[in-house]
């Protein structure tokens, strides 16, 4: 029992601990009918319970958490006729052969761009995001405002919230799910390992459970990562290369996700496509990534750490521009076959795919800094350091021939061009008193 408790605590501890922790009191059964002190305690609990019920129940019509997965979830406002109307209208397909997509992680970097692109073509799009503060939530709010203007509603909630997800599928018969919600970042895993388990494993399983029960089942495209190649030294990385030596907990949870995807495809006939993104960058990007905080720190005159491998080896990344990634995501949705299950049961074999989405030209991080210096017209203060062994790999390089063949994927933006667009966005976004943080 204690073991079970610990396990579930690890599973459900949110990335940023919720304001409230809800515990269903186990005391009530034990204390029933024993002595007056016990009675007093019992009634105090009942009273406290009533207060809690009032507090948690009043802002929203959704039910109280009834399963352990919801215990430590933050409470969000959802439900009600006005809310359902917004959900429906956002997910409404407006073009003839359009699809309706639930985009998780829609307030995130990739999620925002994918949602906007889908909406532009007339697809129905509904976002879902928990707005955690892994990095500056005001940036997520600004992305949300951007999507709001183009008619995309982001429901505020956690992918671990089964009643919420089921409700969404009850309101809208999504044909596709674009699953991008995750705990990203490699180094943060040492600080908060539970958040990776919470979002990348427990959250994924919860989402797939709801998808498998949905009628009709949606086709699912989701974000894995190039980090699954881990300590692999054979380049370029091809989908069939080994991925059993992850170098970080982040990578391990993404690899676990690929195995979980296999299982749900095999047992329930869910159509599943995993995309291994290679270092995505661009406007509205993530402040925890090097190109982003290098820009911030170079402008501030702060020294930036530049890693090098053993024997002064070059650290390089296959930087991929966001617009290219978006095209890969949309092509994956468009080529995804239907799931085959119904009533929670498999009816036949379903599609299972994995693709690298990279740029195929690794650039040394020192070159990245040189490009930024030129664009920002500021000299960087460089501090060359040994690459720490806490998750980052020295080199990434995608073989994209499979995505090219099956998706027509062909990246067209080089680092120079892409960074120019990023810097232009950065300067306009953070001018006017707003400060970069994260
Ligand atoms: N950006 C990259 O270079 C890169 C590379 C490889 C893989 N990926 C993957 O691509 C996906 C999108 O990445 P991104 O760069 O846009 O990251 P991001 O952090 O900007 O976006 C993820 C979003 O998911 C939300 N989220 C996290 N946990 C959640 C939960 N439990 N419930 C609901 N929402 C939750 C966050 O609030 C965030 O807005 C992620 O799965 C990431 O692991 C990204
Ligand atoms: C790239 O991957 C394909 C399989 O999709 C493989 O046939 C090809 O040999 C790989 N190329 C390299 C250079 O590894």
Residue 319 has pLDDT above 80, yes or no: yes
Give the ligand whose atoms come closest to the C-alpha of residue 248: 1
363 forms beta bridges with: 317
Between these two residues, 15 and 322, which has the higher pLDDT value?
322
DSSP per-residue codes, 265-279: HHHH---EEEEEE--
Distance CA 187, CA 30 (A): 44
Residue 312 confidence class, pLDDT cut points 50, 70, 90? confident
* Ligand 1 atom, smallest distance to 131 CA: 37
272 DSSP β-pair partners = 220, 352
Q: Does 360 contact ligand 2 (Cβ within 6 A)?
A: no
Q: How far is the CA of 291 from the centre of ligand 2 (A)?
A: 29
Quote the tokens at residue 350.
């379903």
Instruction: Give the pLDDT of residue 68.
Output: 43
Lowest mean pLDDT among 17-26, 114-123, 407-416: 17-26
User: Any residues with CB less than 8 A from the CB of 37 and at least 6 apart, and which?
Assistant: none
Binding site membership of 403 for ligand 1 (Cβ less than 6 Å) = no
If you take atom 31 of ligand 1, which residue's CA is the nearest one?
199
- Is the pLDDT at 338 greater than 90? The verdict is yes
- Which pLDDT score, from 0 to 100, does residue 41 have? 64
Considering the chain, what is the average pLDDT of its residues? 87
Q: For a pocket test of ligand 2, which of 399, 400, 407 has the largest count of ligand atoms closer than 8 A to its C-beta? A: 399
242 Cα to the center of ligand 2, angstroms: 14
Residues of the chain with pLDDT > 90, as a percent, come to 77
**Ligand 2 pocket check for 185: Cβ under 6 Å:** no
| Mean pLDDT comparison of 16-20, 60-64, 342-346, highest-scoring range | 342-346
| Whether the CB of 402 sits within 6 Å of ligand 2 | yes
CA of 184 to the centre of ligand 1 (A): 5
Question: 199 in ligand 1 pocket by Cβ < 6 Å?
Answer: yes
The domain spans of the chain are 2-70, 81-429
Any atom of ligand 2 within 6 Å of the Cβ of 236: yes
Ligand number with the minimum distance to the CA of 353: 2
Any atom of ligand 1 within 6 Å of the Cβ of 182:
yes
pLDDT at 180 over 70: yes
Neighbours of 117 (CB within 10 A): 17
pLDDT at res. 393: 85
Q: Who's near 178: CB < 8 A, 6+ residues apart?
A: 101, 102, 103, 104, 111, 114, 118, 221, 222, 329, 333
Question: What one-character DSSP code corresponds to residue 190?
Answer: G
Residue 310 has pLDDT above 50, yes or no: yes
Residue 127's pLDDT is what? 99
Confidence of residue 414 (pLDDT cuts 50, 70, 90): very high
Q: Which atom of ligand 1 is nearest to the CA of 135?
A: 19
pLDDT (tens digit per residue) in 243-290:
999 999 999 999 999 999 999 999 999 999 999 999 999 999 999 999
Q: Is 185 helix (H, G, I), strand (E, B) or coil?
A: coil
Q: Is the pLDDT of residue 45 over 90?
A: no
Q: Is any atom of ligand 1 closer than 6 Å to the C-beta of 359?
A: no
Has residue 181 got a pLDDT over 70? Answer: yes
Residue 74's pLDDT is: 73
Average pLDDT rounded to a whole number, residues 204-220? 98
Q: Is pLDDT above 90 for 56?
A: no
Confidence (pLDDT) at 432: 59
Q: What is the mean pLDDT of residues 27-32?
A: 37
In the predicted structure, residue 58 carries a pLDDT above the cut 70: no
pLDDT of residue 31: 38
pLDDT grade for 7, boundaries at 50, 70 and 90: very low
User: How far apart are alpha carbons 28 and 64 in whole angstroms?
Assistant: 18
Q: What is the structure's pLDDT at 76? A: 85
- Residues noted as catalytic: 250
pLDDT of residue 100: 98
pLDDT at position 327: 98
Position 89 confidence tier, pLDDT thresholds 50, 70, 90: very high
Confidence of residue 402 (pLDDT cuts 50, 70, 90): very high
Write the Ramachandran bin of 71: left for phi over 0, alpha for psi from -120 to 50, otherwise beta.
alpha
Query: How far away, in angstroms, is 369 Cα from ligand 1 center?
Result: 25
Residue 63 above 80 pLDDT? no
Taking 80 as the threshold, does the pLDDT of residue 170 lie above it? yes
Q: pTM score, two decimals?
A: 0.86
Ligand 2 centroid to residue 327 C-alpha, Å: 21
**By percentage, how much of the chain surpasses pLDDT 70?**
82
Give the per-residue pLDDT at 392.
83
Distance 10 CA to ligand 1 centre (A): 20
Residue 145 in this model has a pLDDT that exceeds 50: yes
Q: Which of 18, 105, 220 to mutate to test the pocket of ligand 1 (most atoms within 8 A of CB)?
A: 105
Q: pLDDT, tens digit, for every residue of 347-394?
A: 999 999 999 999 999 999 999 999 999 999 999 999 999 988 777 889
Fold category of 81-429 in CATH: Rossmann fold (3.40.50)
pLDDT surpassing 90 at residue 46: no
């Amino acid at each position: 029992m204690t073991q079970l408790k610990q396990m579930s605590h690890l599973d459900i501890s949110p990335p940023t601990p919720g304001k409230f922790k809800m515990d269903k009191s186990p005391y009530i059964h034990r204390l029933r009918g024993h002595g007056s002190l016990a009675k007093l305690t019992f009634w105090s609990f009942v009273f406290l319970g009533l207060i809690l019920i009032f507090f948690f129940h009043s802002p929203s019509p959704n039910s109280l958490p009834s399963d352990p997965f919801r215990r430590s979830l933050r409470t969000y406002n959802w439900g009600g006729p006005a809310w359902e109307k917004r959900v429906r209208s956002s997910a409404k397909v407006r073009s003839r052969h359009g699809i309706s997509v639930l985009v998780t992680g829609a307030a995130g970097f990739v999620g925002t761009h994918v949602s906007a692109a889908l909406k532009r073509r007339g697809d129905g799009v509904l976002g879902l995001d928990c707005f955690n503060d892994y990095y500056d939530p005001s940036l997520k709010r600004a992305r949300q405002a951007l999507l709001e203007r183009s008619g995309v509603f982001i429901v505020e909630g956690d992918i671990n919230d089964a009643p919420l997800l089921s409700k969404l599928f009850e309101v809208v018969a999504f044909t596709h799910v674009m699953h991008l919600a995750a705990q990203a970042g490699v180094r943060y895993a040492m600080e908060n390992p539970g958040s990776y388990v919470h979002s990348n494993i427990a959250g994924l399983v919860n989402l797939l459970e709801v998808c498998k029960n949905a009628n009709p089942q949606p086709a699912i495209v989701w974000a894995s990562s190039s980090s699954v190649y881990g300590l692999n030294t054979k380049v370029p990385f091809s989908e069939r290369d080994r991925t059993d030596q992850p170098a970080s907990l982040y990578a391990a949870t993404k690899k676990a996700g690929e195995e979980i995807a296999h299982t749900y495809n095999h047992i329930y006939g869910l159509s599943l496509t995993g995309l291994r993104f290679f270092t995505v960058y661009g406007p509205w990007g993530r402040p925890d990534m090097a190109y982003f905080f290098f820009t911030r720190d170079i402008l501030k005159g702060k020294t930036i750490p530049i890693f090098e491998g053993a024997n002064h080896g070059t650290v390089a990344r296959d930087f991929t521009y966001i617009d290219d990634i978006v095209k890969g995501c949309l092509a994956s949705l468009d080529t995804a076959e239907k799931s085959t299950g119904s009533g929670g049961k498999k009816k036949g074999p379903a599609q299972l795919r994995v693709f690298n989405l990279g740029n195929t030209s690794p650039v040394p991080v020192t070159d990245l800094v040189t490009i930024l210096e030129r664009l920002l017209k500021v000299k960087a203060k460089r501090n060359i350091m040994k690459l720490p062994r806490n998750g980052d790999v020295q080199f990434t390089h995608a073989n994209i021939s499979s995505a090219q063949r099956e998706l027509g994927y062909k990246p067209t933006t080089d680092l120079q061009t892409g960074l120019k667009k990023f810097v232009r966005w950065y300067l306009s976004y953070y001018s006017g008193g707003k400060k970069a943080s994260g």
